[in-house]
Amino acid sequence: MTKRLMITLVSTLVLLCLCGMCTIGAGEIRIAVCAPITGNYSQYGLSFKNGTQLMAKLVNEAGGINGARIKMEIYDDKNEQKEGVNIAQRLVSDRGVAAVIGHFASGVCLATAPVFQRAGLVLISPTSSHPDFTKQGTYMFRNNVKEDVEGPCSAEFMIKQLKKKNIAIIYVNNDWGVTARDYFMEGVKKFGGKIVASEMFIDGQTKDFSPILTKINAAKAEIIYLAAMYTDSGMIAQQLNRLGYKIDLFGNSSIYNDMLIQLAGKAVEGTYLVASYFDEDPTPVVRNFIANYKKEYGVVPDQYAALAYDTAGLVVEALKICGPDRAKLRDALAGIKDYPGVTGNTTFDENRDAQKGVIILQIQNGKFVFHSRV
Amino acid sequence: MLLQQIVNGLTIGTMYSLCAVGYSMVFGILEFVNFAHGSIYTVGAFITLTLVSSGRIGFGVSFLLSMIATGLLGVAIDRFAYYPIRSKRAPKMNLLIGSIGMSIFLQNLAMLIWGSQTRNYPEVLRLGSTRLLGVTISHYQVVIFLLTAFLIVALQTFIKKTKTGKAMRATAQNVDATKLMGVNVNLIVQIVFFIGSALACVAGTLVGMYYQAADPWMGFMPGLKAFTAAVLGGIGVFEGAMVGGLIIGIVETLAAAYIHAGYRDGIAFAVLIIVLLVRPTGLWGKALSRKV
């Protein structure tokens, strides 16, 4: 009985493997996109999906890569480590996958990195900003500006341009938030500012920020640096407003989303923030991208969609050079210089971290406006 | 700063109280903890949000309709999820597990209907704020206090003075004896679910308006905290739930302000443990150990 069962199992497995191989069409290159499609972070996952699929559509309409069509396959990692690792294990054994774009959160990237590294499959994250991510191995890439650039730039702007001395921080208590706080604090120290309060909150649980805001006000802070997502930042701004404290806000690039203004309205008026992409940028690449995106999805792309679009573009660029070979693709990607993306000209440094400039925006009359370039 | 923090704490404390009363009432009668209560709070907040943003009816009417709708949802949950378990005389543990399942179901239902994004709660009441002794009190906070106080007094009167209230108290004391007296116990249970859910809807709506945001997870933590509040005050006891809510609200706010923001939830739960160690029946709990 067990023997028969074994035979059935094995033959089913073999059949399944064969079927799997059949689906790899001759003229198709498959790229996996891992993003939180459901759950608390699904809005970011949607931007990943839209951005990468738009790039695939444009490439395919222009004739594909040397005649081969591109297919972006979306996998839902729910922004959870264990889901991410499950998907990673599935992807590395699927030889038809040329590269993986993904993971929204640094925490998930850090969990899956060893799996992809062992198998020699490129993982390129459009959003991970934790410095340790690309240190996990030579197949790990990042296509956004890290906190070690953003934090000090923000500190310099606050102290030198806005002339603020007493600075408070509110950060989300996760891997990313703590890193963002540390780099920002380093920057503040370097440019001669003073941290008067550093307060944390718990992601998805803290809705009431009044105790920490009251504490920050008592510490006589002139400006608050927010290392938080836009949903939380919107609540912080509203509660600050309701408490009647006059303290300026300065946000990490993570708060750059129109939803912030929809959620918090007048309360975020005057808030400064860092960004690597701005949707009113007059550069032709950006205008083109926004027009295409609007035509396809009916909304203006946010920075996550822009970063995902550029990430897909970088992978396409590398595929053009070498074709869908996992190892060669890594080398081609690492060698890319000055890729003209919508988030700036992108070059990978020796640690496979993207290098591009940052801009400072301000919210004025319910809109993000360009303030200056740092 | 201390006074301000106490005002901050009182505001969220009143929300916990409203929820805790719902927990306590259901426990008082059925002797089981309805863990779906937090999710009912979320659904209530979203129903109000949908009605208000439809723009056809005013806020007051929307709020009232939403309370009724959420109340009926509570009744439906009891009828289709808990009643079948109860009528088979299954152990209380099964009901508890059932309510956890119901909580997950409602949370995901809310996510399916309203999406997982944080939604903006329209600012229906444009109210200012007053500065008093260096403390900023927004008028909205005053509205929260007054509305909660009114509801609690009204409910208290209902339970103490009306015949239905008497039947509720009787059911809480002894289900079988109440049945023998000719009381329709199932109807009483449904009334309790209706009132409890409607109060959860009030809390959800008030919180949504206070933070001007609503998301499908908004009920999870308040649900746990309200449960803590109910147990702290002595579960099944009306006044206990009220005071328990206020204590939890103030304690966690002070903990966040003076100890560490990361420990606020931990400290709120630690207070519960300490109180239970000293008084296992909670602050107001009767010595009757059968219920605990």
Look at A207 and B218 and tell me if their CB atoms are within 8 Å: yes
Q: How many CB atoms lie within 10 A of CB B35?
A: 21
Q: Which among A202, A211, A234 has CB closest to B213?
A: A234
Among A207, A214, A264, beta carbon nearest to B5: A214
Structural domains in chain A, sorted by start? 27-144+283-355 (3.40.50.2300), 147-275 (3.40.50.2300)
* Residue A371 CB-density burial (10 A; 0-12 exposed, 13-18 middle, 19+ buried): middle
Rounded to whole angstroms, the maximal C-alpha distance in chain A is 80
Shortest Cα distance, chain B CAs vs residue A202, angstroms: 7
Q: For the domain B2-291, what is the CATH code?
A: 1.10.3470
Q: Strand pairing partners for A274? A: A360
Q: How confident is the model at residue A13 (pLDDT cuts 50, 70, 90)?
A: low
Out of A40, A201, A214, the one facing B8 most closely (by C-beta) is: A214
Q: How many Cα atoms occupy the beta-carbon half-sphere of A325 within 13 Å?
A: 7
A205 inside 8 A of chain B by CB? yes
Candidates A201, A207, A212: best to mutate against B (most CBs of B within 10 A) is A207
Please determine, for residue A233, whether its predicted confidence score (pLDDT) is greater than 50.
yes
Q: What average pLDDT does range A323-347 have in this prediction?
A: 89
Nearest to B261 among A42, A201, A238 (CB): A201
Q: What is the pLDDT of residues A253-306, one digit of tens each?
A: 888 888 888 888 888 888 998 888 888 887 888 899 999 999 999 998 988 999
Q: Do the chains contact at B261 and A210, CB–CB below 8 Å? A: no
Q: In the structure, what pLDDT confidence band is assigned to residue A4 with cuts at 50, 70 and 90?
A: low
pLDDT in tens, A83-100: 999 999 999 999 899 999
The 3-class secondary structure across B50-71, one letter per residue, is HHHHHCCCCHHHHHHHHHHHHH
Cα separation, A95 vs A93, in Å, equals 6
Return d(Cα A325, Cα A29) in angstroms, integer.
10
Q: A12 pLDDT exceeds 70?
A: no
Chain B nearest-CA distance from A234, in A, is 9
If we measure between CA atoms, which residue out of B121, B101, B118 comes closest to residue B50?
B121
DSSP labels for chain B?
-HHHHHHHHHHHHHHHHHHHHHHHHHHHHH-S--TTHHHHHHHHHHHHHHHHHH-SS-HHHHHHHHHHHHHHHHHHHIIIIIHHHHHTT--HHHHHHHHHHHHHHHHHHHHHHH-SSPEEPP--S---EEEETTEEEEHHHHHHHHHHHHHHHHHHHHHHHSHHHHHHHHHHH-HHHHHHTT--HHHHHHHHHHHHHHHHHHHHHHHHHHHTEE-TTTTHHHHHHHHHHHHHH-TT-HHHHHHHHHHHHHHHHHIIIII-GGGHHHHHHHHHHHHHHH-TT-SS--S-GGG-
C-alpha to C-alpha distances, A357 to A152, A277, A372, A373, nearest whole angstrom: 13, 10, 11, 8
Contacts of residue A40 in chain B, CB cutoff 8 Å?
Answer: 116, 215, 217
> Would the CB atoms of B253 and A208 count as touching at under 8 Å?
yes
pLDDT per position as a tens digit, A62-80: 998 888 999 999 999 988 9
User: What is the band of A7 on the pLDDT scale with cuts at 50, 70, 90?
Assistant: low
Instruction: Judge contact between B225 and B241, C-beta under 8 A.
Output: no
What residue of A is the nearest CA neighbor of B219?
A: A205
Domains in chain B: boundaries: 2-291
Q: Which residue has the higher pLDDT, A192 or A51?
A: A51
**Could you tell me if residue A78 is left (phi over 0), alpha (psi between -120 and 50 degrees) or otherwise beta?**
left
Given a cut of 50, is residue A105 above it in pLDDT? yes
Number of A to B CB contacts under 8 A, please give it.
87
Q: Give the B-side interface with A, CB within 8 Å.
A: 1, 4-5, 8-9, 11-12, 111, 116-118, 120, 123, 129, 131, 136, 138, 140, 207, 211-213, 215, 217-218, 220-221, 253-254, 256-257, 261-262, 264-265
Q: Which residue has the higher pLDDT, A357 or A161?
A: A161
Yes or no, beta carbons of B256 and A212 under 8 Å apart:
yes
The pLDDT score that the predictor gives to residue A250 is: 92
Which of B5, B116, B138 lies at the smallest CB-CB distance from A42? B116
In single-letter form, the type of residue at position A249 comes to L
* A16 pLDDT above the threshold of 70: no
Taking the C-alpha atoms of residue B196 and residue B22, their distance in angstroms, rounded to an integer, is 4
Question: What does pLDDT average to in each consecutive run of 10 residues of chain B (292 residues)?
Answer: 85 89 83 87 91 82 91 92 86 87 90 82 73 78 88 89 89 85 88 91 89 84 87 81 90 87 84 84 66 40
Residue burial B211-223, b: 16+ Cβ < 10 Å; e: rest: bbbbbbbbbbbbb
Contact between A23 and A96 under an 8 Å Cβ cutoff? The reply is yes
The pLDDT of residue A329 is above 90: yes
A4 to chain B, any CB pair closer than 8 A? The answer is: no
Q: Do A231 and B129 touch (CB under 8 A)?
A: no
Task: Look up residue B288 and give its two tokens.
Answer: 């009757």
Residue A1: pLDDT over 70:
no
Distance (Å) from the alpha carbon of B85 to chain A's nearest alpha carbon = 30
B221 CB neighbours in chain A (<8 A) are: 205, 207
Q: A208 vs B211: CB contact, 8 Å cut-off?
A: yes
- The residue of B11, B14, B108, B136 whose CB has the most chain A CBs within 10 angstroms, and thus the best one to mutate to test that interface, is B136
Residue of A201, A214, A242 lying closest to B138 (CB–CB): A242
Check whether A18 has a pLDDT greater than 50: no
Assess whether pLDDT exceeds 90 at residue A56: yes
pLDDT of residue A23: 42
Q: Give A285: exposed, middle or buried? Use CB within 10 Å, 0-12, 13-18, 19+.
A: middle
Nearest chain A residue (CA) to B210: A239
Q: What is the pLDDT of residues A363-374, one digit of tens each?
A: 998 888 888 777
Residue B8: list chain A partners with CB under 8 A: 208, 210-211, 214
Question: At A275, which amino acid appears?
Answer: A
| ipTM summary value | 0.73
φ, ψ (nearest 5 deg) of residue A30: -100, 130
Residues of B in contact with A173 (CB under 8 A): 262
Average per-residue pLDDT in chain A?
87
